Amino acid sequence: MRARAAWLALVPVLPACGGGETPVEPTRGGLPWFEDVARARGLDFTLVSGHADEFWMPEIMGGGGALLDADQDGDLEVYLVQGGHLVRERRKGERHRLFENQGAAHFRDVSAGSGADLEAYGMGAAAGDADGDGDTDLYVTHVGPNALLLNQGGLRFVERSEGVAHPGWGTSAGFFDAECDGDLDLFVANYLDWSFEGELPCLNSLSRRDYCSPKNYRTPARDVFYVNDGAGRFVDESEPSGIGAKRGNGLGLAFGDLDANGWLDVFVANDGMANHLWWNQGERRFREGALVAGCGVDASGQEKAGMGVVLGDLDRDLDLDLLVCNLASESDSFYLNEGGRFTDRTALTGIGPVSKSFTRFGVGAFDFDHDGELDLFEATGRVQAASEPSTADVYAEENLLFRGVGPGRFVEVEPRGGVAAPLVAAARAALFGDLDGDGGLDILVVNRDAPANLLLNRVAVRGHWVAFRVLERGGGDALGATLEFTGPRGRERREVASASSYLAASDPRVHLGLGPESGVDEVRVRWVDGVEERFGPHAAGSVHVLRRGAGR
Amino acid sequence: MLPLRTLVLVPLAGLLACGPTGPSSPPLPELAGRDPEVRAAVEHLHGELVAEPGDTTLSTEWAMLLDANELDAAALTAWQRLVALQPEEARVHYHVARVSERRGELDTALRALESVLAYAPDYAPAQARLGRLLLEAGRLEEAGATLERALALEPGAPGPVLALARLDLLRGDAARARARLEPLVATYPREPYANSLLARAFATLGDERSAARHLAAEELAGAPAARDPWQAEVQRRALGLKVRIDRAKARLAAGDPAAAWKELEPLAARGDELALVDTQFQVLIAWGKPDEVLERHARLAPELAASPMLAMKRVLALRALGRTPEAVAALEQELRRNPAHPHGPALMGELLGELGQHAAAAQAFARARENGDRTLGTALALAAALRAAEDEGGALAALVRAAEEFPWAPKPWVERCALLAARGQLAEARAALDEARTRGLEPARARELAHEFGLDEAVR
């Protein structure tokens, strides 16, 4: 038994698990959990939507980016996808940007000459070792042809988009090993079959021109599935796999073995339509089954505006649950996994009434205060003008932060969003990772037509922590592998994941809050192909590398 | 008996609103950016209220106007001011609850609903709303009891039944949810969420076939069947371009273009707003006045007339006048200008079909699909055009694709049945009809079709 520090006294007394009746007081008047240091640390980035007189739908949906250790020095670089202007002639040289982490979250813009500074109307990014050479590559989605950027080392990338430059409106994308064959395949969510000519003159509640609902267009798009041939070349298998059989207004994306059959399934949050859950049946075949599985629509039967996604074991029963963010007036949807079927348990989470006042996009469930409970951060921003705006930006809102108070239960943290002064902007992607290397998870928020926020973790009293970089034999992050360990709250499970949230690729390292524990005795890793290895013990306060083949 | 909180809050609210010398007039809210019709109405009523600040009728009208037009902060203040003037008027508390809920102020909404029920415990929509909010707040026991009270007040009302079924499913009692929902679906087959919830219940019970049937039915659902007279009274005060267009479209959908036109009349002076002109044209065509559409279109400013939406309405007007070749020519011109038009090619397919040019119509429908028109109607129209062009193989393939793309829809299977029966492939036709039946084709209709196609044996 590991020693418990005096910190134990600070762990909140928790209500019994599972019930919904025990009131838990919100965290009111507390200290901020995060501090925005973006400009001070050299992360100067404003997502340019290009909005002028028209209301072209892509202008309101971007943008995102990726956190990746591009130069393999142990800290996270930041890649941010730029918009610009949808009409090429009106662009003003806006490009995607790469920021080198020079240590402790001090950043330097290294975009010029990096090969990653593409000029295109961007949406999101995926990160993973696409060519199996051990470093992290990027896939960038655009309104127009997407791009695959292979990492050449030394913060240099080269574009190799042949075969993967899907010309549609790509949104979230992610690498995952669909075939359990050791290389990373690629899934791209598409939003609408959009064109300038198909735009519509939609009105908001003030009877003024504004952005339309995706439902107005009635042109949902097909998502795309590319299979890796093992040498970094991708083949479009959307049609034969079944993925191309259904259309949706795809936004958020996440991967996980939701039915515990050994294959990674794909969940796509659709905007204004039933979500898609692509059951992976092996042999490159997928079957869509969200409605029957219970995660297509909400508890009242309503198709919601699905945006960002969290996929993880939120109720600590060792299977994977789903949390989907939605539009204002629609609460988040928390789909509890019960043996491959899902029940919408949002009413028991405590996030419903708060969340439904905002339009939530980026989202992540992480243990920010290291008490062993997953907390929840949601980046928010409207898609139609506020009828009573409080700021000049009529799409701006405050972000939301919730503290975990038990399996799948949360209370809102105040001050709102966990920051001392409210950050009011039209936020889109939220990217999560330990950017300053102090062990606390930080957040990068991309804002439409406003500076991005770099929210460094300043939780006053944090518990112990430990983190794992989980690597395949070739050195790439073992996306889709599962870790099981005994934490301060009992047996737990975490996924090695990068794609989740909204238009985002986050830190793939597995980060655990340990509360008073001084380490973990043993970590069981189940690799994507089902092989298991055991590692440990591991002391708190460090990032440990778990390399395939080096365990027991 | 009144809740203690209400007894304390009411006099406090009275002091806040009235002051020591009687009620003061409310401030004029910020109206910049508001619809001109809303702005004018609010300014006019404010003028009257300044003259008579204690007039409860005027004050109520003021609160309703602000509320209906989503001036939420001012509306909440106005309703709270009325609480002070009429502390025992339940519907005023109810409107405080509604606006508070809309603003995300759940605690205020819950407190206001307690007050409503203290004065009007028999108003079922208030019980139902309270139950739903308690459910959203995770207070399941209280929610259940409140919803049962709502149901007792209005037996069979969809809102409480749906919320209670949600509660059942939340508690893992799918059988009970099913028992609640089946009678509701029988009474309100177009209630939007009932079929979806029932599908969930069946799926949980392992009956995927029934689940699929109700998911298919859910796609045909209509407007919610909830009834809330107090809320409706407020909503009638909504003004402005969007509201009037929405109302006009609702009238049009109900088959009453004259009433739709009347809804738009107050906006007549705003003839340069695209959304208004587009709706006017839509109404005129439905009203049998396509010639007026052509006249109005000819008078529009060039930049407005060039709008793809209005150009399409002109095509529809020409079609309605029987001038189909001219409609085709106008549409061809529009499609040359906007090759990626999402709906134009489908309309071209219809026009060419009317002219008997079925092969060209099929090409147009295929182009519509390439341009992103993913509706079932276009998929079926493609098959019909191919069949009319005597390409039965192509028609069958198109129906197979439609069935794959719309797995819950019976129609592709019905069409397939008809085509196969016409080709004398009765066994395959019977199988297709069976597939349609598993996807929700009504048994009576299935019998009619079987009779029509000579398949009586198959469906007995």
Residue B350 lies in a domain: no
Residue B38 lies in a domain: yes
Distance from CA of B317 to the nearest CA of A (A): 20
Average the pLDDT over each of A193-202, A415-424, B314-323 and give the range with the smallest value: A193-202
Reported as a pLDDT band with limits 50, 70 and 90, residue A489 is confident
A217 chain-B contacts, CB cut-off 8 A: 342
Confidence (pLDDT) at A25:
46
Quote the mean pLDDT of chain A: 92
Half-sphere CA count of B126, side-chain side, radius 13 A: 24
Q: Does residue B341 or residue A456 have the better pLDDT?
A: A456
Letter string b/e over residues B119-142, b meaning 16 or more CB atoms within 10 A of that residue's CB: bbeebbbbbbbbbbbbbbbbbbeb
Contact B200 A352 (CB under 8 A): no
Residue B457 lies in a domain: yes
pLDDT at A390 over 60: yes
User: Locate tokens 């949810």: which residue?
Assistant: B177
Confidence (pLDDT) at B21:
54
B278 chain-A contacts, CB cut-off 8 A: 201
Q: Are residues B140 and B45 in the same domain?
A: yes
Confidence (pLDDT) at A127:
98
B135 chain-A contacts, CB cut-off 8 A: 347
Q: How far apart are CA A224 and CA A166, in angstroms?
A: 8
Q: How far apart are CA A312 and CA A14, in angstroms?
A: 21
Distance from CA of A433 to the nearest CA of B (A): 31
Confidence (pLDDT) at B223:
55
Reported as a pLDDT band with limits 50, 70 and 90, residue B257 is very high
- To 10 degrees, the CA torsion angle through A237, A275, A398, B69? 130
Residue B232 lies in a domain: no
Q: Which of A245, A247, A388 sits opposite B72 (nearest CB)?
A: A388
Q: Which residue of A has its CA nearest to B274?
A: A201
pLDDT at B398 over 90: yes
Beta partners for residue A419, in sequence order: A34
Distance from CA of B39 to the nearest CA of A (A): 11
Contact B203 A195 (CB under 8 A): no
Q: Which of A198, A247, A387 sits opposite B70 (nearest CB)?
A: A387
Domain containing residue B132: CATH number: 1.25.40.10
pLDDT at B6 over 80: no
A412 chain-B contacts, CB cut-off 8 A: none
Q: DSSP per residue over A114-170, as a string? A: SS----S-EEEEEEE-TTSSSS-EEEEEEBEEEEEEEEEETTEEEE--TTT---SBE
Confidence (pLDDT) at B219:
58
Amino acid at B279: T
Q: Which of B324, B358, B374 is the last residue of a domain?
A: B324
Report yes or no: B140 at the A interface, CB cutoff 8 Å: yes
pLDDT at B192 over 80: no
Letter string b/e over residues A502-536, b meaning 16 or more CB atoms within 10 A of that residue's CB: bbbbbbbbbbbbbbbbebbeebbbbbbeeeebebb
pLDDT at B73 over 70: yes
Q: Are residues B18 and B161 in the same domain?
A: yes
Q: Which residue of A has its CA nearest to B191?
A: A301
Report yes or no: A31 at the B interface, CB cutoff 8 Å: no
Give residues with Cβ within 8 angstroms of B22, minimum separation 6. B53, B54
Average pLDDT of the residues in B83-109: 93
pLDDT at B401 over 70: yes
Length of chain B equals 460
Residue B333 lies in a domain: no
Q: Which of B271, B304, B324 is the last residue of a domain?
A: B324
B71 chain-A contacts, CB cut-off 8 A: 387-388
Report yes or no: A16 at the B interface, CB cutoff 8 Å: no
Confidence (pLDDT) at B213:
78
Report yes or no: A167 at the B interface, CB cutoff 8 Å: no
Average the pLDDT over each of A152-161, B217-226, B319-328, B329-338 and give the range with the smallest value: B217-226
Q: Are residues B154 and B296 in the same domain?
A: no
pLDDT at A20 over 80: no
Give residues with Cβ within 8 angstroms of A513, minimum separation 6. A367, A368, A369, A370, A371, A372, A373, A462, A463, A464, A465, A487, A488
Contact A218 B374 (CB under 8 A): yes
Q: Which of residues 236-275 of A touch B (CB under 8 A)?
A: 245-247
Residue B11 lies in a domain: yes
Q: Which of B196, B211, B372 sits opposite A193 (nearest CB)?
A: B372
Closest to B26 (Cα-Cα) out of B74, B97, B98, B94 = B74
Q: Are residues B320 and B417 in the same domain?
A: no
B188 to A298, B34, B202: CA distances (angstroms): 20, 38, 18
Amino acid at A533: E
Contact B170 A347 (CB under 8 A): yes
Q: Which H helix or E strand runs over B259?
A: helix B257-264
Q: Does residue B124 or residue B15 have the better pLDDT?
A: B124
Report yes or no: A205 at the B interface, CB cutoff 8 Å: yes
Token pair recorded at residue A532: 């298991």
Report yes or no: A380 at the B interface, CB cutoff 8 Å: no
CB pairs under 8 A between A and B: 150
Q: Does residue A243 or residue B16 have the better pLDDT?
A: A243
Contact B242 A203 (CB under 8 A): yes
Q: Are residues B155 and B258 in the same domain?
A: no
Task: Answer for the pair A464, A448: CB distance below 8 angstroms, yes or no.
Answer: no
User: Residue B292 CB: number of other CB atoms within 10 A?
Assistant: 15
Q: How far apart are CA A269 and CA A303, in angstroms?
A: 11
B23 to B51, B56, B86, B94: CA distances (angstroms): 12, 10, 12, 21
Report yes or no: A392 at the B interface, CB cutoff 8 Å: no
Contact A301 B140 (CB under 8 A): no
A206 chain-B contacts, CB cut-off 8 A: 33-35, 70, 240, 242
Confidence (pLDDT) at A13:
34
Q: Which of B324, B341, B372 is the last residue of a domain?
A: B324
pLDDT at A26 over 50: no
Q: Which of residues 310-329 of A touch B (CB under 8 A)?
A: none
Length of chain A equals 552
Token pair recorded at residue B275: 């959304």
Q: What's the number of domains chain B is made of?
A: 3
Confidence (pLDDT) at B224:
55
Q: Which residue of B has its CA nearest to A332?
A: B136
Average pLDDT of the residues in B154-182: 92
Q: Are residues B154 and B258 in the same domain?
A: no
Half-sphere CA count of B156, side-chain side, radius 13 A: 7
Q: How far apart are CA A259 and CA B121, in angstroms?
A: 47
Confidence (pLDDT) at A7:
38
Exposure of B22 by Cβ count < 10 A (0-12 exposed, 13-18 middle, 19+ buried)? exposed
User: Residue B356 CB: number of other CB atoms within 10 A?
Assistant: 9
Residue B384 lies in a domain: no
Q: How far apart are CA B118 and CA B130, in angstroms?
A: 13
Instruction: Give pLDDT tens digits for B325-362.
Output: 999 999 999 888 777 676 789 999 999 999 999 999 99
Closest to A173 (Cα-Cα) out of A499, A507, A498 = A499
Q: How far apart are CA B198 and CA B439, in angstroms?
A: 16
pLDDT at B12 over 80: no
Average pLDDT of the residues in B451-459: 74
A508 to A126, A352, A468, A499: CA distances (angstroms): 11, 28, 9, 9
Q: Are residues B9 and B100 in the same domain?
A: yes
Best probe of the A interface among B39, B184, B200, B273, by most A CBs < 10 A, is B200
Distance from CA of A49 to the nearest CA of B (A): 22
Average pLDDT of the residues in A525-545: 96
Give residues with Cβ within 8 angstroms of A41, minimum separation 6. A105, A106, A107, A454
The ipTM value here is 0.76
Task: Answer for the pair B378, B371: CB distance below 8 angstroms, yes or no.
Answer: no
Q: Which of B34, B140, B196 sits opposite A297 (nearest CB)?
A: B196
pLDDT at A395 over 70: yes
Q: Are residues B158 and B292 in the same domain?
A: no
Report yes or no: B200 at the A interface, CB cutoff 8 Å: yes
pLDDT at A198 over 50: yes
Reported as a pLDDT band with limits 50, 70 and 90, residue A419 is very high
- To 10 degrees, the CA torsion angle through B151, B157, B162, B164? 10
Of chain A, the percentage scoring pLDDT greater than 90 comes to 80
Report yes or no: A356 at the B interface, CB cutoff 8 Å: yes
Task: Answer for the pair A220, A247: CB distance below 8 angstroms, yes or no.
Answer: yes
Closest to A200 (Cα-Cα) out of A186, A182, A218 = A218
Token pair recorded at residue B454: 């000579």
Residue B428 lies in a domain: yes
Q: Which of B73, B137, B211 sits opposite A292 (nearest CB)?
A: B211
Best probe of the A interface among B135, B171, B196, B367, by most A CBs < 10 A, is B196
Token pair recorded at residue A469: 């970089």
Confidence (pLDDT) at B222:
57
Average pLDDT of the residues in B4-14: 42
Q: Are residues B22 and B150 in the same domain?
A: yes
Q: Are residues B161 and B40 in the same domain?
A: yes
Instruction: Give pLDDT tens digits for A362-372.
Output: 999 999 999 99
Report yes or no: A197 at the B interface, CB cutoff 8 Å: yes
Report yes or no: A40 at the B interface, CB cutoff 8 Å: no
Confidence (pLDDT) at B220:
59
Per the structure, the complete domain to which residue B283 belongs is given by 240-324
Q: Which of A218, A221, A341 sits opposite B203 (nearest CB)?
A: A341
Closest to B387 (Cα-Cα) out of B363, B356, B419 = B419
Q: Are residues B162 and B254 in the same domain?
A: no
User: Locate tokens 């208004």: which residue?
Assistant: B276
Distance from CA of A326 to the nearest CA of B (A): 15
Contact B208 A293 (CB under 8 A): no
Contact B141 A21 (CB under 8 A): yes
Report yes or no: B33 at the A interface, CB cutoff 8 Å: yes
Confidence (pLDDT) at B5:
42
Q: Which of residues 274-293 of A touch B (CB under 8 A)?
A: 291-293
